[in-house]
């Protein structure tokens, strides 16, 4: 049986207040509602469709985060994934994309016979979209990113890649890592049966020592970038009302020009 690994991430709910800590300017996880990143639901859905097309596939969801990230994994399991792995370790706090990708790359060694690794095109909390490419380098496997559709057949993944220059049909031999956009599919909603089944599915928790990652290579101390200050977004102010006295269009354009919006 081949395995499809879906990378998932617990992120702050976009509808809750998100902020950085005052000391090291890392994400303040204690004061934000945590959820499974929405784009990960598209990644899980892509894996489920491939499994439905070929019942010999098994879906493993993999995440790196605090112990509480098991709730995000449970959500993915309730959607239909088969098992989960969580890499959790205090040494990982503050890791950048390089440290995250290195950790996930080593964690992938826990899974045999990987046919495909699927990720969302970018997380809502970081937005860098760099992990798939970094994993491609670390694992020395092809990366095909920003797909709005995909098929896997005959040892090859084929999909439509969306870029600013247009839409391109791309392909790569498996094993490969891909990322999907929110247009790739419509994620299913977990039903009661799926939620109850998820409670019985296995989530394996491992430390960085279990996967051969050295503490000095991850975490805030090893990060190639660091936030040194932050400024809260300004409070909303009342808008400017333009009275149309025959020159409303001109005033509107002047206002937009003054704000460098056009």
Give residue 22's pLDDT: 66
Residues 155-167, mean pLDDT to the nearest whole number? 92
pLDDT at 129: 83
Instruction: Answer yes or no: is pLDDT of 56 > 70.
Output: yes
pLDDT of the residue at 14: 66
Q: Which of 51, 40, 116 minimizes the C-alpha distance to 80?
A: 51
Report pTM.
0.82
Classify 16 as helix, strand or coil: coil
According to DSSP, the residues that pair with 11 across neighbouring strands are 35
pLDDT range class, residue 21, cuts 50, 70, 90: low
Q: Domains for the chain: give ranges and CATH numbers.
A: 2-222 (3.40.50.620)
User: Do 142 and 173 form a contact (C-beta atoms < 8 A)?
Assistant: yes
pLDDT at 188 exceeding the cut of 80: yes
CA distance 261 to 253: 9
Distance CA 140, CA 63 (A): 20
CA atoms within 13 A on the CB side of 37: 25
Beta pairing, strands 57-64 & 143-153: unpaired
Q: Kindly report which listed range (19-23, 119-123, 133-137, 155-159) carries the lowest average pLDDT score.
A: 19-23
* Structure-model confidence comparison of residues 198 and 127, the more confident one: 198
Only one residue has tokens 């950790």, namely 103
What does the pLDDT average to over 31-55? 89
When pLDDT is averaged across residues 80-102 and rounded to a whole number, the result is 94
**Can you name the residues that pair with 119 across neighbouring β-strands?**
179
Q: What is the CB neighbour count within 10 angstroms for residue 47?
A: 28
Interatomic CA distance for residues 131 and 118, integer angstroms: 11
Q: Are 34 and 71 in contact (CB under 8 A)?
A: yes
Round the average pLDDT of the chain to a whole number and report it.
Answer: 89
Nearest to 173 by CA among 105, 114, 121, 130: 114
What separation in angstroms does the CA of 9 have from each of 40, 73, 160, 208? 7, 8, 24, 17
Give the range among 3-7, 27-31, 246-250 with minimum mean pLDDT.
Answer: 27-31
């Amino acid at each position: 049986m081949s395995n499809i690994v879906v990378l998932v991430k617990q992120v702050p709910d976009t509808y809750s207040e998100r902020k950085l800590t005052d000391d090291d300017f890392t994400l303040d996880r204690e004061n934000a509602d945590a959820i499974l990143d929405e784009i990960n639901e598209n990644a899980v859905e892509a894996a489920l469709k491939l499994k439905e097309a070929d019942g010999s596939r098994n879906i493993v969801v993999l995440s790196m985060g605090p112990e509480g990230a098991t709730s995000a994994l449970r959500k993915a399991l309730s959607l239909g994934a088969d098992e989960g792995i969580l890499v959790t370790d205090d040494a990982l706090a503050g890791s950048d994309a390089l440290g995250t990708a290195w950790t996930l790359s080593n964690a992938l060694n826990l899974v045999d016979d990987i046919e495909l690794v699927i990720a969302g095109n970018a997380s809502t909390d970081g937005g860098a979209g760099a992990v798939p490419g970094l994993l491609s380098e670390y694992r020395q496997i092809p990366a095909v990113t920003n797909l709005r559709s995909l098929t896997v057949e005959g040892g090859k993944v084929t999909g439509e890649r969306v870029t600013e220059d247009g839409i391109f049909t791309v392909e790569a031999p498996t094993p490969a890592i891909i990322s999907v956009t929110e247009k790739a599919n419509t994620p299913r909603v977990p039903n009661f049966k799926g939620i109850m089944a998820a409670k019985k599915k296995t989530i394996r928790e491992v430390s960085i020592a279990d996967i051969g990652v050295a503490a000095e290579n991850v975490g805030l101390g090893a990060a190639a970038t660091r936030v040194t200050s932050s400024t809260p977004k300004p409070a909303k102010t009342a808008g400017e009302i333009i009275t149309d006295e025959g020159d409303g269009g001109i005033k509107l354009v002047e206002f937009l020009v003054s704000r460098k919006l056009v």
